[in-house]
Amino acid sequence: MKVPSLSGNEQVFSDLVRRQLKAMHIRSHRDGIGNIFADISGKDKFAPKLLLNAHLDTVSPGENIKPRIRYGMITSDGKTILGADNKAGVAVIMEVLNMLRKEKIPHGDIQLIFTVQEETGLRGARLIKKGMLHADIGYVLDGGDVDTLYNRAPTQYNLTAEVIGRAAHAGIHPEEGINAIKVASEAIAKMRLGRIDQETTANIGIIKGGIATNIIPEKVEIKGEARSHNIRKLKAQIKNMRRQLAKACSRNRANLKMSIDCMYNAFSLDREDRVVGIAARALGALGIKPKIKRTGGGSDANIFNELGIKTLIVGVGADRVHTRNERIAVDDLFCGAKLLLNIIRENSARKNHKK
């Protein structure tokens, strides 16, 4: 946790992970953006090949982290995030790999991928090509509660807009200006934001503009997003956001530049899919009744599913992520490792072997 690994600056933490892999006699390599790849051979050549993934990066504030354990809970000192999202996933994978080696636990082949820049739009995973993957099924250790399996995730569109008004002196000739911030505010006020329905959300997260209090702001930049499990609803939501911006600019004689980008596509796994069944039975072996749910967030699982590898999101206990109150229970961290170990064992069960 103490090693900083903000998105785009994962090098030091990545080096640490690779040193630990080397100590376990696991050879690894990095691609151009910094994703770590490793192939681990197993003696069970009939078992489906597993893809295991966690991401190396964290959000801000993620430097000078001072982790502590109190009453069975790991937290930061409250001045930073903890980084359990997703270093807990990295730690669980590394621990289980070590157990497989030391205790000579039978298993099938494993493809290991630690990605970078997940928190900034899955940038690391989005550069992975289909030919770089050779697993049959996958597990992304980037969920929350250990008893929850996430089999569905939404599509996300990002919106970037620039409202262009006209500068003027705010005290002498304000009527000659067109206030770009005011125009943008009018549009945002009329947008449908937050929880739209059970499948759809939208947010304006960044607004930047202005130079000084005595200048009518000429330009303002807006960045937002919309997500939905239903592509029709998602397109309708984005259309509403674009329409409100266009109307506000037209009313105020401002100009508008806008772009919409698809960050990742939705995935949906059936409860009967092998990848879900293996994880559900692995939880059952721990005496835990699995909860199978959809998530409103995106992860590297979206990319792997799009590339043809049925991939499920499983939890390792990270809680209150992306905040200074982030935490993880020691017991949940251990439980996450037991779950992954059970997944690997269950995957080698004869009923899951490839025909």
User: Residue 212: which pLDDT band, with cuts at 50, 70 and 90?
Assistant: very high
- Domain spans, the chain: 11-153+266-352, 155-264
What integer pLDDT is reported at residue 93 of this predicted model?
A: 98
Return the amino acid letter for 211: I
> Which residue among 10, 85, 109, 118 is the active-site one?
118
Give the model's confidence band at 265: pLDDT under 50 very low, under 70 low, under 90 confident, else very high.
very high
DSSP line for 68-105: EEETTEEE--SSS---HHHHHHHHHHHHHHHHHHHTT-
pLDDT of residue 349: 76
Select which of 10, 57, 147, 326 is catalytic.
Answer: 57
pLDDT at 333 over 80: yes
Output the pLDDT for position 318.
95
218, 167 contact by CB (below 8 A) = yes
Asked about 57 being catalytic, the answer comes back as yes
pLDDT at 355 (0 to 100): 45
Specify the higher pLDDT residue, 229 or 349.
229
Percent of the chain at pLDDT exceeding 70: 98
Q: How far apart are CA 344 and CA 352, in angstroms?
A: 11
Average pLDDT of the residues in 105-122: 96
pLDDT at 337 over 60: yes
The amino acid that residue 199 corresponds to is E
Label residue 346 by pLDDT band (50, 70, 90): very high
- When pLDDT is averaged across residues 277-282 and rounded to a whole number, the result is 97
Condensed to tens digits (0 to 9), the pLDDT of residues 8-67 reads 999 999 999 999 999 999 999 999 999 999 999 999 889 999 999 999 999 999 999 999
Q: Which helix (H) or strand (E) holds 341?
A: helix 330-347
Whether residue 118 lies in the annotated active site:
yes
Cis peptide before 61 (omega within 30 of 0): yes
Correct CATH for 155-264 of 3.30.70.360, 1.10.1040.10, 2.30.110.10, 1.10.540.10: 3.30.70.360
* Strand, coil or helix: 310: strand
Question: Region 315-334: what's the mean pLDDT?
Answer: 96
231 has pLDDT over 50: yes
Class of domain 11-153+266-352: alpha beta
Give the CA angle between residues 158, 163, 168 to the nearest 5°: 155
Q: Which residues contact 323 (CB under 8 A, 6 or more apart)?
A: 81
How many angstroms separate the CA atoms of 153 and 295, rounded? 5
Q: What is the pLDDT of residues 140-182, one digit of tens each?
A: 999 899 999 999 999 999 999 999 999 999 999 999 999 999 9
The rounded percent of the chain whose pLDDT value lies above 90 is 96
* 148-153 and 291-294 strand pairing: parallel
Return the closest-CA partner of residue 149 out of 334, 338, 282.
282
